[in-house]
């Protein structure tokens, strides 16, 4: 990984906004976004990614995307299983907590994915336009497999409700709905809304990451309580899963940029869709552990170091 790649990641506006949020939390400055603004920015980001992905998806044939979609589904199943057994070796977490953690790490982080796209756009690196489709595809199986690993026999689990929660979650509905809108509208229809969903995107992302930095900063104190094994997992698992995603992307014919983004999807951890589903299906799981690990450790690691590392791997393995 070159110094230029690392610099491009650390000194990008979205990452610096995240750092500002961390500092604000540490010095106890009141920079929290109003709840309505936070909700509006998250809806904007999800819908914008979905619509742009749908426009690109319209120009692809089913044969072109069949391989990447199939590989993404397979990764969505393998990744939480890998996380579950890795946690068994590295931590003393209960089966339920390991399943909850696997659901978080088997799913995806929209914001990490979005920062990766901005990172590639800044460097003028092309990538397949249907990557948002892969994001939507991987969002669901990782959560469901994690819940199954936690133990279907749990008397507290409400599987029908939790499954419905996953499929009707804001992230899935907006991504899939955005993909449908973009595919139906096409390039001509998107051209009319591009001034709203195009140029302002990076600025809205920076605003969203400011809030994420504040939330992560408030959980930094809990990191030391997580234990060294969990801390090591939160840093090592993304590297292994990210490398697996990049190699898989290369195997199914994705470009360097596309393979890198697939690696980011595998390496990221959910802190939006997964917590809601886990709360319903596994009420005895400890949310402090899962959110501290995914949002307080893995998320900033991927933001600063992970993304340039996965890009360096993609440059090496994709010709």
Task: List, in order, residues 6 or more apart from 298 with CB less than 8 Å away.
Answer: 105, 234, 235, 237, 238, 267, 268, 269
Residue 267 CA to chain centroid, in angstroms?
A: 8
Task: Tell me the HSE value of 21 on the side-chain side, using a 13 A CA sphere.
Answer: 25
Per-residue pLDDT, 153: 45
DSSP string, 119-137: HHHHTT----TTHHHHHHH
* Of the candidates 108, 110, 120, 132, the residue with the CA atom closest to the CA atom of residue 43: 110
Q: How far apart are the first and last CA of the chain?
A: 17
Cβ atoms of 275 and 170 within 8 Å: the answer is: no
What b/e readout covers 164-180, taking b as 16+ CB neighbours within 10 angstroms? ebbeebebbebbbbbbe
Q: Give the per-residue pLDDT at 82.
A: 96
List the chain domain ranges.
3-22+32-151+163-314
Helices (H), the chain: 3-10, 13-26, 35-58, 62-90, 95-106, 110-122, 131-151, 159-167, 170-197, 201-223, 228-251, 256-267, 273-281, 287-291, 299-301, 307-317
CB atoms within 10 A of CB 70: 12
| Predicted confidence (pLDDT) per residue in 265-301, tens digit | 999 998 777 776 777 777 788 777 887 788 888 988 9
Q: What is the dotted CATH code of the domain comprising 3-22+32-151+163-314?
A: 1.20.1530
Per-residue pLDDT, 315: 94
In the predicted model, residues of the chain with pLDDT beneath 50 are 153-157
Contact 100, 290 (CB under 8 A): yes
Residue 199 is predicted with a pLDDT of: 84
Q: What is the DSSP string of 153-212?
A: T-TT--HHHHHHHHHTSHHHHHHHHHHHHHHHHHHHHHHHHHHHHSTTHHHHHHHHHHHH
pLDDT of residue 70: 94
């Amino acid at each position: 990984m070159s110094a230029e790649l690392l610099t491009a990641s650390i000194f990008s506006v979205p990452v610096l906004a995240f750092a500002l949020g961390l500092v604000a939390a540490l010095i106890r400055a009141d920079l929290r976004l109003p709840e309505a603004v936070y909700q509006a920015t998250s809806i904007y980001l999800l819908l914008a990614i979905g619509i742009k992905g749908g426009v690109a998806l319209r120009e692809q044939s089913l044969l072109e995307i069949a391989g990447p979609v199939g590989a993404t589904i397979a990764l969505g199943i393998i990744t939480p299983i890998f996380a579950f057994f890795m946690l068994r070796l590295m931590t003393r977490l209960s089966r339920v907590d390991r399943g909850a953690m696997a659901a978080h790490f088997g799913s995806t982080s929209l914001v990490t994915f979005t920062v990766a796209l901005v990172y590639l756009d800044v460097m003028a690196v092309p990538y397949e336009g249907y990557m948002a489709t892969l994001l939507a595809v991987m969002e669901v199986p990782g959560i469901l497999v994690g819940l199954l690993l936690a133990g279907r026999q749990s008397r507290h689990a409400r599987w029908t409700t939790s499954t419905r929660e996953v499929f009707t979650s804001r992230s899935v509905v907006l991504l899939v709905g955005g993909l449908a809108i973009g595919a139906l509208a096409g390039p001509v229809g998107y051209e009319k809304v591009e001034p709203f969903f195009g140029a302002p995107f990076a600025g809205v992302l920076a605003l969203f990451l400011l809030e994420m930095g504040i939330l992560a900063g408030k959980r930094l104190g809990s990191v030391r309580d997580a234990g060294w094994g969990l801390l090591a997992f939160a840093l090592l698992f993304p590297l292994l899963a990210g490398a697996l995603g990049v190699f898989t992307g290369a195997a199914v014919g994705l470009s360097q940029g596309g393979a890198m983004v697939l690696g980011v999807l595998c390496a990221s951890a959910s802190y939006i869709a997964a917590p809601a589903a886990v709360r319903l299906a596994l009420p005895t799981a400890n949310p402090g552990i899962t959110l501290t690990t995914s949002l307080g450790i893995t998320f900033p690691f991927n933001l600063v170091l992970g993304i340039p590392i996965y890009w360096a791997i993609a440059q090496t393995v994709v010709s």
